[in-house]
Amino acid sequence: MAAISREEVAHLARLSRLAVTEDELDRFAGQLDVILQSVAHIGDVAADDIPPTSHSVPLTNVYRDDVPVPSLTQEEALSGAPDAYEGRFRVPQILAEED
């Protein structure tokens, strides 16, 4: 028995606002039927003792612990800057100021 009928495909096409020809209705009905039967087959194979998962292999958190470490002082950071002003990096203006 087909999982989806030609009329259901036509209804879905109308809801999706798709212009579908008569030949396409027959072709899509067959293709969607294969897809729906495949999904149903997966449901038959699934074992009740296997919990649902989001990944096929176990994942662990890849983030490291947030541990404070010594960093540069403001003067050290600005020491290699080509241009500094009032403790900040000075860069060329790229946008004009609005009036």
Is residue 22 one of the residues assigned to a domain? yes
With respect to residue 37, please indicate whether it lies within any of the assigned structural domains. yes
Nearest one of 29, 43, 41 to 20, comparing CA atoms: 29
Task: Tell me if 17 is assigned to some domain.
Answer: yes
CA distance 83 to 88: 9
Q: Is residue 90 part of a domain?
A: no
Q: pLDDT tens digit string along 29-61?
A: 999 999 998 888 887 776 777 777 778 788 787
Tally of structural domains, the chain: 1
Name the residue range of residue 10's domain.
Answer: 6-45
Task: Answer whether residue 62 is part of any domain.
Answer: no
Angle separating helix axes 22-45 and 6-15, nearest 10 degrees: 100
Domain assignment present for 70: no
Predicted TM-score (pTM) of the model is 0.45
| pLDDT for 46 | 65
Q: Is residue 63 part of a domain?
A: no
Any domain includes 1 = no
